[in-house]
Every structure is written in C-alpha cells, then in structure tokens.
Structure 1
Amino acid sequence: MAVFAERPGFVASDAGPAAHFGNPTGEQRALAAGRAVVELGLGIVTVTGPDRLTWLNSITSQLITGLAPGTSTETLVLDQSGRVEHAARVVDDGGTTWLLTEPADAAPLAAWLDSMRFMLRVEVADRSADLVTLGRFAGSAVADPVVEWVDPWASVTPGGWGYAALEAHPASDWTLRIDVVTSEAAADTAASDVPAAGLLALEALRIAAWRPSLSDVDERTIPHELDWLRSAVHLSKGCYRGQETVAKVHNLGHPPRRVVMLHLDGSDGVLPAPGTPVVSDGKDVGRLTAAALHHELGPIGLAVVKRSLDPAATLELTVDDVVVTAAQETIVPPQAGATANVPRLPRLGAVRRG
C-alpha cells in the first residue's frame, strides 16, 4: 500500500506511490521549497561484509574504496562496451552499503552483484519489500531515517567531469535527499501534517535540473551522453568493466549521442510520452526520454539526439495526429569529449598541401 494513499486527491502511479494529489504544479512548488515529501518506491539493495567497498569499487564506475560512513555518491554498472546496465545511489553507514535504484532494477542488480561475489566476504540482499524511500529537498524533514542519501548532482564530484556549461547550471541549488525509513516511520510521516507531493512533481524538477536517471537509458547509452560523468564516474580510479570505453570516448573521441532539454510547444495541451521519436527536417534524430509540465518553465522534456544535430534546429514530436514543436537547450554539447586534445597525425602516404 502506498504511504500517502489516504491523503485527499491521491492518484496512484503505475509503480504504486502517488503520481499526484490533484495539483501537480502546486506540489512541485511545495517540494522544491522544501515543504513537501514524496514517496519514491525505489529499489533497495544492501551489501554487507568487510570486503564490500573494495569489491564494489572493482566492478562499478565510481571510487568507493574508503567511502566514509554517511557520505553519498552514485555509481554505474557498465557492460564490456561501456553501456549502462545498472545505476545506483550509494551510501555506507559503516557496516552496510546501501544501493538505491529504480524499482524494476533492484532484483536484476542484486542478482548480478550476487553472481560477482566469488570468494569475497560480501553478502547481497534485496530489501525493497522491507523499507520505504521518501524524497525531499533541504528544509523538510522525515522522522528517524535508517539511512539518508544526499544527491551529489549539484556539482561535479571529485574525479568526475561535467560537459554541460559550468556557469549557471540549473542543478546548482539541487538539494534532493532520499531517506530510507521503516514502514512504521513512513506511517508516522503519512499521519503527520507534512505536505505530500507526487512523482510527477519530482519528475518535472528532475528534468529542469538536467538530472539523468536510469529511465533515460536505452540499450546503447554510455554515461557521456547523459553528462553522467558529472556524478557517477571517477575518471582516474582503477580498472572496471567498461572503463576502456569511458576513457577512450572522454579523452580521444566524442559520444555518438547527446542529451538536450526540450522546451515543448504547449499550445495544443498535449505532452509527448517517453520514447516518442524526435524529428528534424523529416528525419528521426533521437528519442524523448522524459517529459513533464514544469511549474515555471511549462512543458519540458529530455531527449537523446544525434551528436551531429544542429543545436539551433527546431524539432518536432508527434502525439497521435498532433505535431508538437520543440526548441533545444544544450546540455551535452556536440564537441563534448576529446579532452586529451591529441593532434591528428596525417595518414601514411598522404601528401601535405599548401
């Protein structure tokens, strides 16, 4: 049962927690101002044992060895080609490492981790059914959390890299906290007078902050395309699966696709669904990964498009028979990558002219 199911106006999301309570834009304002709490329904995977931090460090993208109790970070599981398979918010309490992921990813992540234990002293457990995740921004409070994760997205983390413009990044005041609480503590929160917001409110704020999520990932996604090197990848740590691709694209190449924020035309009152093709001059150039109605910006979305797409091009998305136009706001620029600035050598046998 959803924590806030008894609140007036409750409308359930497909995942179970509230989508909204009848006023998504008002809920956004309350959530962003630190007055409201949102039930997230995240998956919860725990890792215990004395080898847990060095083990996680060796198989994921973030530097986790020596992670101090209470320090929050984020990490990715990549395949051999550097494509994103799992994403987890990470915090250690001194005895247990907590991995918070999307609801559908908890069981696959736990199964993959369990398959990678070998002879190390670690134990993996899926705790999703035992505990509740509540989100809030700085200012609000949740009673007696088991552990709290603080989103590092507001700035480039040590060892990371931000492709988006460093000045005036929309996440500069992003203060999301996720509290893992018992069902009893969640019930106490629901019985209190704290305002509740739905998942639609948080999604709109996430899009406006350019914050990547596993929901933006498809079978080809590499971290660079979503600017995820900013918070989830340490570029100078030791070897891990997919690291060669991460280093090669960042130092010598360019990500083949890039994420942009879309400002959608709302005059027809329709909002494209995630997965909608993005079209320029009659050709598919990408796909929409998220869309929402923001309380200040209006209808917005995130889309992953071809790197070569002109940042000034006007885009189109079709909803039933309605064509919705969209203007781009660059997040990952076309020139992202190639940070090593290695000069290109002439081809063998080529004749230099001039």
Structure 2
Amino acid sequence: MSRVLAEGVDAGVAAHYGDPFREQRYLAEDVGVVDRSNRGVIAVPGADRLSWLHSLTSQHLEALPAWQGTEALVLSPHGHVEHHFLVGDDGETTWLDVEPGTTDALLGYLQKMVFFMRVEPADVSADWAVLSVIGPRTGEALARLDVALPSEPYRLAPLPGGGFVRRMPGSGADLLVPRGQKDAVIERLGAPLAGIWAYEALRVADRRPRLAFETDHRTIVQEPEWIPTAVHLEKGCYRGQETVARVHNLGRPPRRMVLLHLDGVSEELPVQGTAITLGRDGRPVGFVGTAVRHFELGNIALGLVKRNIPDDADLWVGETRLAVDEPVVSKT
C-alpha cells in the first residue's frame, strides 16, 4: 500500500494511501481507520483537575463523570477562540487532545494558571496517540479489541492495553492508545486505512469546524456554531464569557459558517484563508476555510462569510464561482 504523507499542519500522518475517494467510501459506508497521531495530548492529573479546567474553559466540567468526554474551548479576554480540544476523564486524569502545533501554547497557558491548585498538566504526546475509527461498522472493528462501542456520544470505555475509546457524534470513535502500541492496535482493528484527506472531506461535508481552518483571530464561538458542542451557556466566570453571553442574548454574530460548492472549472482547490468576494473582482466578504474533493459532492469547502450576505449572492474565490448550500441551522 502506497502511503503519501500529508504536508502543512497535518504533517506526520498519511494524506492518503493511494485512492482518497475509495478511502472516503470506507469511512462513509463501511469502516476505516485514520491515523491522527500528529495531534497533541495533554494529561491533567490531580484532585482539582475538573474544577480547575471548568474555571478556564467554555465547557461545564466540574461535575464531569468518570469515563465521560466532551469538547471545550479556551477564549481570549474578548471572547475570541484561541484553543479547541477534545476532553476525556478516566476518574484519575483528564486527557485533552488538541490540534497539531498548539500543544505548547495551550500547555503554557494552563501552567500559568495552576497557582495553588492540585493539578499537574503535562505534554504526553510522545507517549500517547490518537486514532479515529469511522463508519457504520465501527462497533465490529472495536469488538476485535475486546471493547464495545459506547452507547452515547462522548462516552468513554477503557481499552485493554491502556487508554480509552471515546464515541464521537455520528458513526465513529476516537481511540487514545499508547504510542508504542499504535501499529498493533491498527492491525487488530482489521479495518482498512484511510488518510487525513478522507477524514477532512467527511468533516467538511458534515460542517464541523476546525481550529485555524474555519477560524481566525477574530472568531467568536457563535460563528462556526460551537454551541452547544464546546460551549455551555449556563455557566459563567471564565475568560471571554461576557462576549459569549452578549452575542447569544442580544444579537447575532457578525459572520456565519457556510458550506460552499465550487464550480469545478479550476482543478486547484483554494488555499485556506483565501478571500471570498462578492462578485468576481468585488469586495471581500469572508474567507475560505478547508477546501476538499468529496467523493459524492465534488469540490466543496467551508467558509466564514458576513452574516448579511444572502445565500444566493454572487460569490467568488479567485477565478472560481461559489454556491452556498442550505444554511446551517443556528443552535443559538
């Protein structure tokens, strides 16, 4: 099997294994395994870990049960998104898996906020790896590891060799495994490998935002619709909470995330951050996030555009015309 390595942010894992469209079909119609071991992993042991993380993040964590997970954000004082991560707690340690390249910055912030709390956040990326098992037959693959797929999204189950499986929304699960056992776990799962291109194509089609792809330095939580998956509206007293509450209660966010269909005239996909314009040479009204080639939908992308731009507007990115898919239903 030919493996082509990804570049840029996702360097270190496979972009594809020779046939990206077939790999997408595995994930959509059967089951496949995606190596996402380039993600960072931060372990937070200590008696105060949940109340401490509760005070620092957008999520309600202080009463998180053992073997439960969720998503969370760290915001700037003005409410702009700085970090996004997945959470899992095994009763003794809270595990955060984070976007590639953001581990040092997030850990640095957490360490500055320890004060007298009984917590010891540490970068354990060298010891632990993230795998994603995705598809309708995920449960069958996990059974080969002698573990059942948890019944609810974000629920965790321990893996026999250490680590855990966390069910994700939709038909899939993330595994946190000892890095030295990664290859053995993949072999035991008995499912075909799919690259990060396939994973990203399905993510875009599902309209799931990714930090630094569908966000910039001005992004607030309502724009990529991170409520309620990563933001709990009934908690306060965390950095940036005032902006979250004000926008939720008094007005609409200045931008919204949309799914875009590209006209297909150009074979080149637009680069993340490329301006979306109103008219071919018109004024900028947003930017492209992740652009992908989807096995059924063709060339598509997520974009962040001004809230007042209608869905039938004449939108372009460079020489490529865009069509907005049905808008995301607001959760706010």
**Alignment TM-score, normalising by the size of structure 2:** 0.87
> Structure 1, residues 118-141: CA drift from partner, whole Å, max 9, x if none?
000001011111111101125233
- Pick from 109, 114, 117: which aligns with 1:117? 114
SS at 2:325 equivalent:
strand
Is 1:225–1:332's contact at 8 Å kept on the other side of the alignment?
no
SS at 1:104 equivalent:
coil
- Pick from 173, 177, 198: which aligns with 2:173? 177
Is 2:126–2:179's contact at 8 Å kept on the other side of the alignment?
no
Q: Note the C-alpha offset of 1:269.
A: 2.2
Q: Which residue of 1 aligns with 2:321?
A: 325
Matched, 1:31 2:48: no
Aligned-partner Cα distance in 2 for 1:16–1:54: 34
> Structure 1, residues 225-260: CA drift from partner, whole Å, max 9, x if none?
001113000001132111110000011011011111
Q: Which residue of 2 aligns with 1:226?
A: 224
Q: Note the C-alpha offset of 1:190.
A: 4.4
Aligned-partner Cα distance in 2 for 1:265–1:225: 25
Q: Which residue of 2 aligns with 1:4?
A: none
Q: Note the C-alpha offset of 1:65.
A: 1.1
Q: Which residue of 2 aligns with 1:5?
A: none
Superposition CA RMSD, Å: 1.7
- Give the number of the structure whose alpha-carbon radius of gyration is greater: 1
Matched, 1:309 2:321: no
Q: Which moved more, 1:117-126 or 1:174-183?
A: 174-183
> Structure 1, residues 13-68: CA drift from partner, whole Å, max 9, x if none?
12110000111111011022342100012110111101000110111001111111
Q: Which residue of 2 aligns with 1:150?
A: 167
Q: Note the C-alpha offset of 1:303.
A: 0.4
Is 1:314–1:328's contact at 8 Å kept on the other side of the alignment?
no
Aligned-partner Cα distance in 1 for 2:166–2:104: 20
> Structure 1, residues 98-145: CA drift from partner, whole Å, max 9, x if none?
111111111111111111010000010111111111011252335445
Is 1:276–1:317's contact at 8 Å kept on the other side of the alignment?
yes
The gaps in structure 1 that reach 5 residues or longer are 1-7, 155-173, 340-354
Is 2:311–2:327's contact at 8 Å kept on the other side of the alignment?
no
Matches of residues 280-319 of structure 1 in structure 2 within 5 Å? 280-281=278-279, 282-318=282-318
Q: Note the C-alpha offset of 1:203.
A: 0.3
Aligned-partner Cα distance in 1 for 2:225–2:193: 30
Aligned-partner Cα distance in 2 for 1:22–1:86: 33
Is 1:33–1:137's contact at 8 Å kept on the other side of the alignment?
no
The gaps in structure 2 that reach 5 residues or longer are 146-158
- What is the total number of aligned residue pairs between the two structures? 304
Matches of residues 166-315 of structure 1 in structure 2 within 5 Å? 174-191=170-187, 193-214=190-211, 215-281=213-279, 282-315=282-315
The verdict on how the C-alpha distance between 1:119 and 1:182 changes in structure 2, with shifts beyond 3 A counting, is same
Q: Which residue of 2 aligns with 1:98?
A: 95
**Alignment TM-score, normalising by the size of structure 1:** 0.82
Is 1:28–1:205's contact at 8 Å kept on the other side of the alignment?
yes
Matches of residues 16-165 of structure 1 in structure 2 within 5 Å? 16-40=12-36, 41-137=38-134, 139-140=137-138, 141=141, 143=145, 144=159, 146-151=163-168, 154=169
Among all aligned residue pairs of Structure 1 and Structure 2, give the percentage whose two residues are the same amino acid.
43
SS at 1:62 equivalent:
coil
The verdict on how the C-alpha distance between 1:331 and 1:107 changes in structure 2, with shifts beyond 3 A counting, is farther
Amino acid at match of 1:149: R
